[in-house]
């Protein structure tokens, strides 16, 4: 497997797992039938400039560099401001209506932010459905959306 393809897998693993050790990368990649060594993972981590950040469980896990997170937040803010029509909440659900064609991009950006409050997103042409982990998480996400819409 080529390095670029392997690193795409690593990014995908980071978006859906809290990976604490290099051995975890090896194990998860092996589960995808991708043969890799810990030494290769170590080189990938260095090249991709992955960082360890505090975990909810008290340990640390690998994450993309903070700068990329900031770039993602800027894109999210811009996309939300440019395409926003309305939003509504019900229980653990947040429904954002956007201009046609913007739903998938907005859903992808929300996923890329790795919000602790978000369980998952679904995006179609003009709608994004966000499923939150709890009612409190829904309120927190509502505040985040309002902040993103009001930021200059």
pTM of the model: 0.56
Q: How far apart are CA 60 and CA 42, in angstroms?
A: 16
Parts of the chain belonging to CATH 1.10.10.10: 3-63
Quickly name the fold that domain 66-150 has.
Answer: Gyrase A; domain 2 (3.30.1360)
Query: At 92, which helix (H) or strand (E)?
Result: none
CA distances from 101 to 52, 82, 83, 115 (A): 35, 12, 9, 23
* pLDDT at position 19: 93
Parts of the chain belonging to CATH 3.30.1360.40: 66-150
Q: Per-residue pLDDT tens for 35-77?
A: 999 999 999 999 888 998 888 788 899 998 766 556 888 899 9
Q: Per-residue pLDDT tens for 19-28?
A: 999 999 999 9
State the CB neighbour count (10 A cutoff) for residue 27: 11
Domain 3-63 top-level CATH class: mainly alpha
Contact 30, 44 (CB under 8 A): no
| Mean pLDDT taken over the chain | 91
Q: Is the pLDDT of residue 15 over 90?
A: no
Grouping H, G, I as helix, E, B as strand and the rest as coil, residue 110 is helix
């Amino acid at each position: 497997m080529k390095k670029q393809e392997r690193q795409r897998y690593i990014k995908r693993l980071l978006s859906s797992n809290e990976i604490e050790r290099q051995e975890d990368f090896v194990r998860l990649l092996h589960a995808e039938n991708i043969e890799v060594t810990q030494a290769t993972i170590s080189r990938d981590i260095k090249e991709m400039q992955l960082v360890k950040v505090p975990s909810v469980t008290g340990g640390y896990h690998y994450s993309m560099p903070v700068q990329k997170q900031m770039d993602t937040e800027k894109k999210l803010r811009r996309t939300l401001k440019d395409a926003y029509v309305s939003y509504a909440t019900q229980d653990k659900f947040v429904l954002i209506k956007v201009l046609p064609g913007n739903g998938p991009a907005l859903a992808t950006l929300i996923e890329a932010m790795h919000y602790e409050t978000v369980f998952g997103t679904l995006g179609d042409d003009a709608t994004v459905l966000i499923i939150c982990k709890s009612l409190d998480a829904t309120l927190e996400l509502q505040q985040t959306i309002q902040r993103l819409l009001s930021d200059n």
